[in-house]
A and B are shown apart, each in its own frame.
Chain A
Amino acid sequence: MSEYSNKKNEEFSPVHTNKVGGSPYTGVIGWIDNRLPIFRIFKHEYLDFQVPKTLNYFWSFGGILMICLIFLIITGLALGMHYKPSADEAFNSVEKIMRDVNFGWLIRYAHMNLASFFFIAVYLHIFRSLYYGSYKEPRQLMWLLGITIFFLMIATAFLGYTLPWGQMSYWGATVITNLFSAIPLVGEGIVTWLWGDYSVGDAALNRFYVLHWLIAFLIVGIVVFHVIALHIVGSNNPSGIEPKDTRDTVSFSPFTTSKDLVGMLVFILIFVAVMMFAPNYLGHPDNYIPANPMVTPAHIVPEWYFLPFYAILRAIPDKLMGVIAMVSSIAILGLLPWLDFSKVRSSVFRPIWKQCVFLFVLDFFLLMYVGAMPAEGIYLVLGRIGTIYWFAFFIILAPLVSIYEKPLPMPQSINEYMDWKKKGKIKTFNFTG
């Protein structure tokens, strides 16, 4: 025992503070990689990484979402160089971007439509996870991180939509921030605090701009966690069967990368077509009228991607309960891994759950339609039916089907699955699995 250490001899263990080395590369790359293992990690996680060989095109949407996010940030940075976040200047600065700034029209239309396509991709991505049971053990945390990202996407898309300071921006901001006034006692105080004023105005716009940026980068952070978790638990696949050895898998590059590339190109093609030929199709014409705090447009609607949740808000005649229902309609997704406890992952082998999921998709579109219509008469009735099914899907159907459903016979391995599929013994989407 030394004078400077109180550890006895038997308590010693060696330490490894110096870990330089171990890179599979040589030369400059090896030198860097020995000290900062980014190349090794990249090789391990993106070149040699094993994925099930049954993945179909639904698995391309993760990569597509990544591309959307990157381009949203690039176009957002470019817009930020010309945009002015003040109530007096915002609308005109956006018009200036559209008319005067070099390629401003292109950059803004790209940013606007990318936001929409981001949601198209995320909805397909979520559908994939629902249909193939990707939320189940061991991928629950990925699912929860995904829902967190979805909430943040909603927040940042809402904030972004307020920035051009048109009529829809202004009244959307008013209605959505007022949702907080439903909170008993402190609600009004919270709303005033959010606004920094007694109504939505200059103060609100300025902070919305700051938060619009911040949340975009928070999304990047959570996406990193989402991907790290993916590389621990591995990809699910249409059969829902875990791969056992390399006979069931292919390496990420070049197989998955090239398949993803095809998916991305098709997606980009559709995106560019919409952006160039119908750039305002997914938006609302009233947002080209400057914000007017004295007049509400006759029919305010949110962006298309919020319509189903807006329909749920309006289906409930009570203010506080409406808000609670809307928030929980998304939050409840987070409970699905525990509400659906069937041991079988993929709906391919779950004849009843499969129908429930298809009905859920129909319900989503029904609510989307209702959300765009005025809240009266038949639309209120449809909205209520849609809302009831939405919640019943999680709270009632998921556990009941888990208990009573008799799954179809399952193949033992991914190879056997492919074999059965080829022989027509199982029916799936013919989506190039």
Chain B
Amino acid sequence: MDKNNNNSKPTRRDFIYTLTASLGVLGAGASVWPIVSQMNPDSSVKAMSTVEVDISKVDKGKEITVMWRGKPVFIKRRTEDEITKARNISLGELPHPETDKKRVLKDEWLVVVGICTHLGCVPINGKGEYGGWFCPCHGSHYDTSGRIRKGPAPTNLEVPKYKFVGNDKIIIG
């Protein structure tokens, strides 16, 4: 295009081309970003991200389901038997090795997001081969610690961020 090929020094025209192209890319990026970003969760959705749950009425061996960020959260008060079952297992046998201790704050209470880590169905309590949950969609089995034991799900049920407030309350999120 320019006649000074033999001269490797950039010309003023090269400078203009580069500047125009860079500004063009920048401008295109700046106009695409808002269009892409508007699809992410908005501030009102993000603001609703904690819930407080009263757990004083949950009996041993029972489970309640609460809604958090549009998803079910299982709060299970485990029996001694269920706790032992979750603990008497070597990590080597688990597809996604995690100790039960690491997954709970208090031994009795297991809190997990009730969304199968395969493709997002809600697993059914008390079903399946490991005494925990069974996902009806494509057959994933979870144990009494919410860990995946068999089936297509790649990881354990997610433990959300939560804390106890006194003995009767949990705040999730």
Contact = CB atoms under 8 A, between A and B. Distances in A.
B73 to A, nearest CB: 10
A178 B119 CA distance: 5
Given A196-B45, A317-B152, A319-B154, A295 B122 contact: yes
26 contacts: A171-B121, A174-B120, A175-B119, A175-B137, A178-B118, A179-B119, A193-B36, A193-B39, A196-B41, A196-B42, A197-B45, A198-B41, A199-B115, A201-B70, A203-B41, A203-B42, A294-B65, A294-B122, A296-B137, A299-B136, A300-B121, A317-B152, A318-B152, A318-B154, A374-B139, A376-B139
A175 B121 contact: yes
A296 B71 contact: no
A300 B65 contact: no
Contacts of A297: 136
A293 B72 contact: yes
Given A178-B120, A296-B121, A319-B154, A375 B138 contact: yes
B167 interface: no
B40 interface: yes
Nearest to A189: B40
A197 B67 contact: no
Contacts of A196: 39-42, 45
Interface of B: 36, 39-42, 45, 65, 67, 69-72, 115, 118-122, 124, 135-139, 152-154
A375 B153 contact: no
Contacts of B70: 197-201, 293
Contacts of A177: 120
Interface string A256-296: 00000000000000000000000000000000000001111
Contacts of A295: 122
Contacts of B40: 192-193, 196
A375 B71 contact: no
Contact of A314 (B41, B65, B138): B138
A199 B49 CA distance: 12
A226 interface: no
A203 B139 contact: no
A320 to B, nearest CB: 8
A175 B72 CA distance: 16
Contacts of A171: 121, 137
Interface of A: 171, 174-179, 181, 192-201, 203, 207, 293-300, 314, 317-319, 322, 374-376
A322 B152 contact: yes
A181 B41 CA distance: 17
Contacts of B139: 374-376
Contacts of A314: 138, 152
Contacts of A322: 152
Given A295-B122, A319-B152, A319-B154, A199 B69 contact: yes
Interface centre among B42, B71, B120 (most CB of A within 10 A): B120
Contacts of B65: 294
B41 A192 contact: yes
What 4 A-B pairs come out closest when comparing CB atoms?
A199-B70, A198-B69, A296-B121, A178-B119
Contact of B45 (A203, A317, A376): A203
Contacts of B42: 196, 203
A196 B65 CA distance: 23
Contact of A207 (B39, B118, B137, B152): B39
Contacts of A181: 119-120
A175 B118 CA distance: 9
B53 to A, nearest CB: 15
B39 to A, nearest CB: 5
Contacts of A200: 70
A25 to B, nearest CB: 46
Contacts of A192: 40-41
Given A175-B119, A194-B39, A198-B41, 13 more contacts: A175-B120, A179-B119, A192-B40, A196-B40, A203-B42, A207-B39, A293-B71, A294-B65, A296-B135, A314-B152, A317-B152, A318-B152, A319-B119
Contact of A296 (B36, B39, B136): B136
Nearest to B66: A294
A200 B72 CA distance: 12
B45 A198 contact: yes
A259 B40 CA distance: 51
